Each structure stands twice: as structure tokens, then as C-alpha cells.
Amino acid sequence: MLSLGLAVSLVTVSCALWPAAVRAASCETVRIPLCRSMPWNMTKMPNHLHHSTQDNAVLAIEQFEGLLGTGCSPDLLFFLCAMYAPICTIDFQHEPIKPCKAVCERAKSGCEPVMKRYNHSWPDNLACSELPLYDRGVCISPEAIVQAEGPGTIISLYTCRCKTVRMNMKTYMKNNYNYVIRARVKEVRNRGLEPTAVVDVKEVIKSSLVNIPKMTLTLYYSSSCLCPKLTPGEDYIIMGYENEETSKLLLIETSIAQKWKDRIGRKVKVRIYQYLVLVQPKTSGADWFQAFALL
């Protein structure tokens, strides 16, 4: 995947200039008739619907020809082709690029009412919830397509933008973090479907759902964006959430990761104490004990 903040663009006609060995190992020419009008000419199988060949994908996408004929959404064909014949670039050989969630939602909102007239609903395998948001991952959208002055079409891929989350009492109260730890980052892994960070837990300042031992643990990012950013070899104070069912420690967009300093650590402990004792009058006995132990 792309590193944070890295702007990426590609020229689809450049695919034809790649060495034959590279093309054979990664991308193939789009042969699905409905998708030949798309601004990309290279795709990769299996696609997002797990079709192993374009021949299989053709049979599946043809079921939407009648719906396309209704003109229910200008985004429908783009969305379907991004799913059935996903754009392939030399920068993303390990994983086809998905359409943005907003593209799916626009296509669904326009076309599902038409489908319901014939007792059909939006297919589960095209669920919008599984697609990346505009600002949380790499995805493709019609708005990202720009006609270049020279030959070819430029497609800009949306990249991650981490929002700054201020570490203060207001943020802590608003976000109600499940865990607060001091940890040293060993490794950040951004491969596959579940990006993670491996950390050595040095101190557990707060935990509410999961028992967090002082040992090497894995933190799970909620999206392909690595937000908040973590640098291997550095100590951080980390605030995030817990999944009680899976006992996983989660990092999401509103999580906090700030490089550790003793004075910051002391301040955080005092603030958590104040929150538990003064803001939450129904604090349990265990939490009272933990609150005083923080000081």
C-alpha cells in the first residue's frame, strides 16, 4: 500500500510500455465488453468478486445490462467495472484497487429503487460497507479522472490523510477510550486485509474490557490507512478501543498516539484520575483502585 501522504497518479497508456514479463506477472488487458469504455485498459484477476478469469466475470456482469439500460445512476457502470474489472497498476500488483465507498452508495441509491420494483435488492457481494472511504484508503472514483493535455488519461488515487487528534481532557471525555498504554513500537505491518502494529507494552494506564498484559501485543488498525502514525523504535502513549469478543486492541481514526514523555505521562494519569473520580460518580470499586494507583 501507499505510505501516508504520498500522492499517486498513473497514466493508463503507460501500461503498454511495461516489459512483457511484468505485464504477464501482474496485469492483463481488459476484455470485458461493458468495461472497454473505462479510462483504464489493464485489470487483474481474481477481481473483487473472486472471479478467477475475465470469462467468468463477463457472465456475472452481464446480469446488470438491463439495469444499466434504465439509466438509474451515472455511477453504476463505473462502479461495476471497478469491481468486476478492477484497475491494475504496477504500484498495486499485490491487491486490486477498490472503488470508493461513495461511488457505491451513489450507484445503490439510484438503482436499488428500480431493482425493488422487480423484487430484487442490492446484491450482498456489492455491499458498500466493505469499501474504503475517500480519506481512509486507496480507492478510485469518477471524480479522480482527468484528461491530460497529451495522450492518455490520468487517474489519481485517493490516499490516506490522518487527522490530528489533540490529547486533552475534552477529547478523552468525548471519545471515551477503552485503553491507555505506554508502549514501544516494534513493527508496523501494512500487508493483507488487516494492517497491524506490534508493540511492547511497558505500562497499562487504563483498560476496561480486555486484560492487557505487559508483553508484546498486536494493535489492529481499522482500515488500510495507518492512522494514527507509529514509528518503530519509539515509545508512545496510545489511546484506543477494545473489542471484548475478540480481545483485540484497536486503532481507529480517532485514536491517539503521541510520543512518550514522562511529564505527558504524569499529566495523562492525573487527567484519567480526575475523570474516573470526579466525572464518573458511579465508578466501580476496581476503577477507584486503579484511579488512585495511577498517582
* Distance from C-alpha of 19 to C-alpha of 25, rounded to nearest angstrom: 10
Class of domain 169-278: mainly beta
- Asked if residue 27 lies in contact with residue 72, where contact means CB atoms within 8 angstroms, the answer is no
pLDDT digit of tens for each residue in the chain (295 aa)?
332 222 233 333 333 333 433 333 478 999 999 999 998 888 989 999 999 999 999 999 999 999 999 999 999 999 999 999 998 876 555 667 889 888 999 999 999 999 999 999 999 999 998 888 755 557 888 876 655 555 556 665 555 667 788 888 788 878 888 899 999 999 988 654 467 899 999 999 888 888 899 999 999 987 666 788 899 999 999 999 988 888 889 998 889 999 998 888 888 887 777 666 655 555 444 443 444 344 3
Q: What pLDDT sits at residue 244?
A: 81
Q: Tell me, what amino acid is at 5?
A: G
Q: What pLDDT sits at residue 286?
A: 46
At 15 the three-state DSSP class reads helix
What's the DSSP call for residue 49?
T
List Cβ neighbours of 260 (8 Å cut-off, separation of 6 or more).
182, 234, 235, 236, 237
| Range list of H helices, the chain | 20-25, 54-61, 65-69, 76-84, 101-117, 169-175, 262-274, 285-293
The closest alpha carbon to 87, from 33, 48, 128, 135, belongs to: 48
Indicate the fold that domain 28-126 takes in CATH: Frizzled cysteine-rich domain (1.10.2000)
Q: What pLDDT sits at residue 129?
A: 87
Give the CA count within 13 Å in the CB-facing half-sphere of 218: 12
Instruction: Look at the block and give the residue holding cell 478523552.
Output: 172
Domain boundaries, the chain: 28-126, 169-278
Strands, sheet with 153-157, edge to edge from the N-terminal-most edge strand:
8-11, 153-157, 145-147
* Distance from C-alpha of 217 to C-alpha of 201, rounded to nearest angstrom: 7
Q: What pLDDT sits at residue 100?
A: 87
List Cβ neighbours of 155 (8 Å cut-off, separation of 6 or more).
9, 10, 12, 39, 40, 87, 140, 144, 145, 146
- Asked if residue 219 lies in contact with residue 226, where contact means CB atoms within 8 angstroms, the answer is no
Q: What pLDDT sits at residue 94?
A: 61
At 272 the three-state DSSP class reads helix
* Distance from C-alpha of 14 to C-alpha of 271, rounded to nearest angstrom: 55
- Asked if residue 13 lies in contact with residue 151, where contact means CB atoms within 8 angstroms, the answer is yes
Q: What pLDDT sits at residue 155?
A: 60
Inter-helix orientation angle 285-293/262-274, to 10°? 150
Tell me the whole-structure pTM to 2 decimals: 0.50
